[in-house]
Structure 1
Amino acid sequence: MNERILVADDDSNITDVCRRYLEREGYLVTTAKDGLEALELWRHHAPDLIVLDLMMPHRDGWEVCNEIRQTADVPIVMLTARGEEQDRLMGLTIGADDYMTKPFSPRELVLRVRAILRRMRYVQTASATAAEHTIRYEGLAIDVAKRKVEIGGQSIDLTVTEFDMLYLLASHPGQVFSRTQILSKVWDFSYEGDTTTVTVHIRRLREKIESNPSEPRYIKTVWGIGYKFAGGD
């Protein structure tokens, strides 16, 4: 079944171009011209991925992303009109999986959408044939097949990117990954963003799975290099 993409932007030229390029790749595309319409279409169509502009009438992208993240982990790619770091960090902090700065190449958007959806399919397919479907370590359980995480039996809601980062690290316990390596492996293509993206996602992930994020049990910082999952020593 073809994946559904929701593109929300108040600039009709952008939504038209995005629709054309994404439909050319076989995706089913729905467009919204403001934040309220984006939320309505999200509720009714349950898209597999959302491309979301930050600056929209009625409800801006931050508000829309925040509301969606209350109940869903659907991948979200943020579009920002400015390349300011504050905008990027804000979008990532509230749960966006990726961001693109306008003006952007529609071909690059297609690459990013394809990469996010491909890595979701890959993890699901790989886990379906794996002998062990659950990674366990000191109260943490990662059900790879169902893409679910529990701490002490309590379910933890993670975004797609947060889960993929955790899975990457936990499936290689003790191995150190640089921020650049994490960008390459999790974002799954030649990513031109800065490594701040990784830092923000790691912080969000720790806030969800660590009882004390300042002294993490699971995701360890290797100063000057990157991160590793505990164990494997």
Structure 2
Amino acid sequence: MDDGVILGTMGHILVVDDDAGIRELLARFLRTHGFRVDHARNGIEMRRAMGDVEYDLVVLDIMMPGEGGLSLCRDLRSRSRIPVIMLTAMGDEADRVVGLEMGADDYVPKPFSPRELLARIRAVLRRSTAAPEAGIPRSDKVKFAGWMLDKSRRELTTPDGVAIDLTGGDFDLLVAFVENPNRVLTRDQLYDITRGRSAPPLDRSIDVHVSRLRRKLEHCAGGHDIIKTVRGSGYVFAAIVEPG
């Protein structure tokens, strides 16, 4: 873990990568843009750092000696909702898909531009800390098929009253659906709504997020029918959405 932390105002980030050059480059770059930054070279140092500090986001490399980033992401997601951005090797689509399945909020393929990573960090932090819109009551709740989504608290509850854990990506996608019920949304539209930019060619991340959200809705009977695939077009949220 890096002890030379320079105080910033944008958030506290942990960079986990076995490449010292990448760790130091990102630490310097992100600090110049107002972030506090620590870094770790492996899972052992990552866990030690997170035991001492409450971070706002983790930048996590997939390919590391010992315990890899996918395993670390899965373990982290099982006990925390902290946003995670994965660093993946260019062309390793399988790793990117698995990373999203494990609960990562976004990914950046190597080699990457530090400015692109900065933009991704800012976007993920905006989504994860977004305040309710002005004029919307704090109990900003909607109901669908017996489920309850509290948008102001970012909580999803089953018809049986069980709270379902949502990553930042899950929440953004579900909000996009409940705000556009019974309307076909293309993959490009969903990507733009949830990530604020156009989808790269052949990007499959929306399909991965939809599959993960479907599995969470399958906690209750009939949940698998709420999000339907429209072949050749995209997805439709096939439920009546009402104020909570």
TM-score by length of 1: 0.90
Q: Does 1:125 align with 2:132?
A: yes
1:175 corresponds in structure 2 to 183
Label 1:109 to 1:100 Cα distance change in 2 as closer, same or farther (>3 A).
same
Label 1:191 to 1:50 Cα distance change in 2 as closer, same or farther (>3 A).
farther
1:58 corresponds in structure 2 to 66
Q: Does 1:71 align with 2:63?
A: no
Query: SS of the counterpart of 1:70?
Result: helix
Q: Deviations over 1:35-72 (max 9, x none)?
A: 11112222321211110001123321011101111111
1:195 corresponds in structure 2 to 203
Q: Does 1:150 align with 2:157?
A: yes
- How far off its partner does 1:81 sit? 2.5
Q: For residues 210 and 186 of structure 2, what CA distance do their matches in structure 1 show?
A: 12
- How far off its partner does 1:78 sit? 0.6
Q: For residues 221 and 93 of structure 2, what CA distance do their matches in structure 1 show?
A: 23
Query: SS of the counterpart of 1:50?
Result: strand
| Identity, % of aligned positions | 38
Query: SS of the counterpart of 1:227?
Result: strand
Counterpart of 1:138, as a letter, is: A
Query: SS of the counterpart of 1:135?
Result: strand
Which structure's CA Rg is the greater one?
2
1:91 corresponds in structure 2 to 99
Q: For residues 86 and 46 of structure 1, what CA distance do their matches in structure 2 show?
A: 30
2:3 corresponds in structure 1 to none
TM-score by length of 2: 0.87
Q: Does 1:136 align with 2:143?
A: yes
- How far off its partner does 1:216 sit? 2.5
Q: Does 1:116 align with 2:119?
A: no
1:103 corresponds in structure 2 to 111
Label 1:49 to 1:193 Cα distance change in 2 as closer, same or farther (>3 A).
farther
Query: SS of the counterpart of 2:13?
Result: strand
Counterpart of 1:140, as a letter, is: W
Counterpart of 2:119, as a letter, is: L
Query: Any stretches of 5+ residues in structure 1 without a counterpart?
Result: none
Label 1:214 to 1:109 Cα distance change in 2 as closer, same or farther (>3 A).
farther
- How far off its partner does 1:215 sit? 7.3
Across the aligned residues of Structure 1 and Structure 2, the Cα RMSD in angstroms comes to: 2.2
2:50 corresponds in structure 1 to 42
Query: Any stretches of 5+ residues in structure 2 without a counterpart?
Result: 1-8
Label 1:63 to 1:213 Cα distance change in 2 as closer, same or farther (>3 A).
farther
Counterpart of 1:139, as a letter, is: G
- How far off its partner does 1:211 sit? 4.3
- How far off its partner does 1:25 sit? 1.9
Aligned length: 231
Structure 1 contact 206–213 (Cα < 8 Å) conserved: no
Q: Does 1:25 align with 2:8?
A: no
Label 1:31 to 1:4 Cα distance change in 2 as closer, same or farther (>3 A).
same
Q: Which of 63, 75, 81 lines up with 2:89 in the alignment?
A: 81
